[in-house]
Every structure is written in C-alpha cells, then in structure tokens.
C-alpha cells in the first residue's frame, strides 16, 4: 500500500516541484508544502496543466517571469501590529 500514488492536483504539482527543486528527505517539509500550494494556486489562476508551467513546459524549463514569481501568491505576507 505504501507505493499507492494519489493523483490529485496537489500531489501532481508537488511531485513536479520535488523533481524540479531536487527535494530529498524530510527537511523543510512545511516550506515545501507552502511552495507547492502556491504553485497549485498559480496553476489554477493561469490555467496551466497540472504539474506544468505555461505552454505545458516542465517547471524547470520555465524562467521566473513565466512562473509568475512576482505575483501576489509568491509575496511574503508582512504582519504589522495594530
């Protein structure tokens, strides 16, 4: 059962990010989840195919501008006290 692969939008995008970024082990797991979540948002917003960037190119073939890294989804939120 361990080798069962779930084919959801998130899992497809996560696997593509893992391959592109060379993620191994369990380090920085929460940051990885956050990054993959943001890529899922961009996939939906930009109308990309799951696990691929614009023009159906693998993420590693896309430049930062193509992946919309300047968009709101990739900006770090700054929380200021009231």
Q: Where are the domains of the chain?
A: 9-74
SS3 content of the chain, % helix, strand, coil (to 5): 50, 0, 50
pLDDT tens for residues 55-80? Answer: 999 999 988 888 876 655 454 444 44
CA distances from 8 to 11, 27, 29, 37, 44 (A): 5, 23, 19, 12, 13
Q: Which own/partner pairs from 56-64 qualify as long-range (CB within 8 Å, at least 24 positions apart)?
A: 58/16, 58/20, 59/16, 59/17, 59/20, 60/19, 60/20
Give the contacts of 14 (CB within 8 A, at least 6 positions apart).
32, 33, 36
pTM of the model: 0.75
pLDDT tens for residues 15-60? Answer: 999 999 999 998 889 999 999 999 999 999 999 999 999 999 999 9
């Amino acid at each position: 059962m361990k080798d069962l692969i779930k084919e959801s939008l998130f899992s497809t995008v996560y696997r593509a990010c893992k391959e592109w970024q060379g993620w191994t082990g369990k380090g920085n797991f929460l940051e990885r989840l956050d990054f993959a979540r943001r890529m899922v948002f961009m996939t939906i917003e930009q109308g990309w195919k799951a696990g691929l960037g614009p023009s159906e190119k693998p993420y590693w073939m896309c430049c930062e501008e193509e992946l919309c890294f300047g968009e709101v989804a990739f900006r770090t939120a700054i929380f200021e006290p009231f």
